[in-house]
Amino acid sequence: MRIIPAIDIIDGKCVRLTKGDYATKKIYNEHPLEVAKEFEAVGIEYLHVVDLDGAKASQIVNYKVLEQIASKTQLKIDFGGGLKSDKDLEIAFNSGANQITGGSIAVKNSSVFERWISKFGAQKIILGADFYPDISGGKIATNGWQEESNLALIPFINGYQEKGIEYVICTDISKDGMLEGPSFDVYQEILSKSENIKLIASGGISTFEELPKLAEMGCEGVIIGKAIYEHKISLKQLENFIINS
């Protein structure tokens, strides 16, 4: 299972939100490159970068930060947040993104997102399935989690699998930044109902012990944010996990 730390960016700075609420912003480092280099130093190879300004603006904003990290580290970066047009994708890939994540666009303009899958291939395009839990399993949210759609989580994922999607980042918004543990039951259900999906768990990771459990379930990757920044999971623990995997 791939370990994928998260760097969320507002005004060029490394921040975290709670449940996607911009009013809860906490700045952890004014220089995201420094943070990325710390991750790389312990053997981490992957990075999840979210342009929170871009998510709000519905277009790429913090591509200079992406460019800086990509040019000064060897990290393989997946980049998301407000990517809505072919021009946004061009900027992201030209700035060094290895993959891009599309969430709102996959809901609101499926024809564009499907074209991206065809044009760039399943290795380059990740489906962002951010959801609010409900009795049916979950409803997809859009626009930096500020809007909820009527789309059910698992049919949404399966529909895009039929269009060629392989990678899915699935975030339980109710758990994001809460440090209360991930949605094991939801991930288990997705894995049982979505054959050959490369599921990347996100939201709520709070202790190191959760990582082997997610790996055992069959998650392809896990995104870790606040648990690292609040020192609930140490970089040394992640280094050991990578060495022993």
- Cite the active site residues: 8, 130
Instruction: Spell out the SS3 assignment of the chain.
Output: CEEEEEEEEECCEEEEEECCEEEEEEEEECCHHHHHHHHHHCCCCEEEEEEHHHHHHCCCCCHHHHHHHHHHCCCEEEEECCCCCHHHHHHHHHCCCCEEEECHHHHHCHHHHHHHHHHHCCCCEEEEEEEECCCCCCEEEECCCCEEEEEEHHHHHHHHHCCCCCEEEEEECCCCCCCCCCCHHHHHHHHHHCCCCEEEEECCCCCCCHHHHHHHHCCCEEEECHHHHCCCCCHHHHHHHHHHC
